[in-house]
Amino acid sequence: MIKAGIIGSTGYAGQEIVRILLGHKDAEIKWYGSRSYIDKEYASVFANMFELVPDICRGEDLNALCEEVDVVFTATPQGLCSTLVNEEVLSKIKIIDLSADFRIKDVETYESWYGIRHGSPEFIEEAVYGLCEINREKIKTARLVANPGCYPTCSFLSIYPLARAGLIDMKSIIIDAKSGTSGAGRGAKVANLFCEVNESIKAYGVASHRHTPEIEEQLSYASGQETIINFTPHLVPMNRGILVTAYADVTREVSQEELRSLYEEAYRGEQFVRVLKNGLCPETRWVEGSNYTDVNVKYDPRTRRVIMMGAMDNLVKGAAGQAVQNMNLMFGLPENTGLMMPPVFP
């Protein structure tokens, strides 16, 4: 039985880890860490856990955690995990970090986009980018996994087959992405109040969103080419979900059939990436509450561009589900353990 601790268990992503691990046959939660709710019952913070989680919230003392658990999930704001990680900690436990602290390999790029100093740059190179469909073998032997961001996961999985095949101009990519409000976290912010987001949709982080360098870096690895994107996220008045519509110029003449075959080949055997039937567009409602990502592609011969599409739940495959998928790999379990919940509808 894997013993798990969660630092940041009272955020949306942390609570989703709790929900998933409660149904995981090979894991148990030993520590519910929370800076804001120390000594309070976890179920008083999330009433959906009433009579399911009797534990109280504890602090975020990673040194104490090391003595009680095998793995720690850090579902915390950027900058915290990098101040906690050290060789002594990593010699005792595995860490799956849901923040951006170890996702970007160039420390100057990280510090520039996030506006904070990195606390342990010596571990950046060791950290494995935890996109299971791409780095499965590396994840299996990792001590420190950088769980990908929600927008980068959906964007990458939508674009990857054509980037890998060299069929798109990697400096022509435009990503239009939309997310539910849970992606902004649980903190109180005026911009996220009901009256501010209901009956509206808006772009934000235009030409400056912090997930931009992460997407560019991973697509550069996949294509073997420098990648420069325009990435524009939008806030949509729904709780969960991410929808990505990405556009790119093709490098040569292609057919719809060839594009389809590349997606089917890239994701053959991948349980959590579903290539939809030809002509169907991904919808967030068909992946809500699940670890699935639905993708599809369409070629526009008139403009010689491809339209690459993806939908997923930002809290599951975009955060907690992917983190548990990483845990399964790190501990030698079947990758889908605890993650076979079907999407919720309506």
pLDDT at 295: 98
- pLDDT (average), residues 104-111: 97
Query: Is CATH 3.10.129.10 the classification given to domain 2-126?
Result: no
Rounded Cα–Cα distance for residues 312 and 70 (Å): 29
**Letter for the amino acid at 293?**
T
**Domain locations in the chain?**
2-126, 151-313
Rounded Cα–Cα distance for residues 253 and 79 (Å): 45
Band (303; pLDDT cuts 50, 70, 90): very high
CA-to-CA dists, residue 81 to 11, 73, 111, 145, angstroms = 15, 10, 14, 12
Q: Using the 8-state DSSP alphabet, how is residue 329 labeled?
A: H
Long-range contacts of 270-274 (CB under 8 A, 24+ apart): 270/133, 271/335, 271/336, 272/132, 272/133, 272/317, 272/325, 272/336, 272/339, 273/133, 273/157
Given a cut of 90, whether residue 189 has pLDDT beyond it is no
Given a cut of 80, whether residue 188 has pLDDT beyond it is no
What residues are annotated to the active site? 150
Given a cut of 90, whether residue 136 has pLDDT beyond it is yes
Q: What is the DSSP string of 64-86?
A: HHTTT-SEEEE---TTHHHHH--
pLDDT at 319: 98
Rounded Cα–Cα distance for residues 268 and 246 (Å): 22
pLDDT at 71: 98
Q: Are the C-beta atoms of residues 75 and 319 closer than 8 Å to each other? A: yes
pLDDT in tens, 109-127: 999 999 999 999 999 999 9
Q: What is the CATH number of domain 151-313?
A: 3.30.360.10
- pLDDT (average), residues 144-158: 98
Rounded Cα–Cα distance for residues 342 and 346 (Å): 12
Q: Are the C-beta atoms of residues 152 and 218 closer than 8 Å to each other? A: yes
Note if the bond before 282 is cis, omega within 30 degrees.
no
Band (107; pLDDT cuts 50, 70, 90): very high
**What is the signed CA dihedral for 146, 149, 150, 154, rounded to 10 degrees?**
-90
pLDDT in tens, 242-281: 999 999 999 999 999 999 999 999 999 999 999 999 999 9
Given a cut of 80, whether residue 4 has pLDDT beyond it is yes
Per DSSP, helices labelled H in 101-203 are 107-114, 132-140, 150-165, 194-197
Quote the mean pLDDT of the chain: 96
pLDDT in tens, 198-246: 999 999 999 999 999 999 999 999 999 999 999 999 999 999 999 999 9
More confident residue, 245 or 197: 245
Q: Which of 190, 167, 10 is nearest to 19 (CA)?
A: 10
Q: Using the 8-state DSSP alphabet, how is residue 341 labeled?
A: P
What are the b/e assignments for 270-291, b being 16+ CB within 10 Å? Answer: ebbbbbbeeeeebebebbbbbb
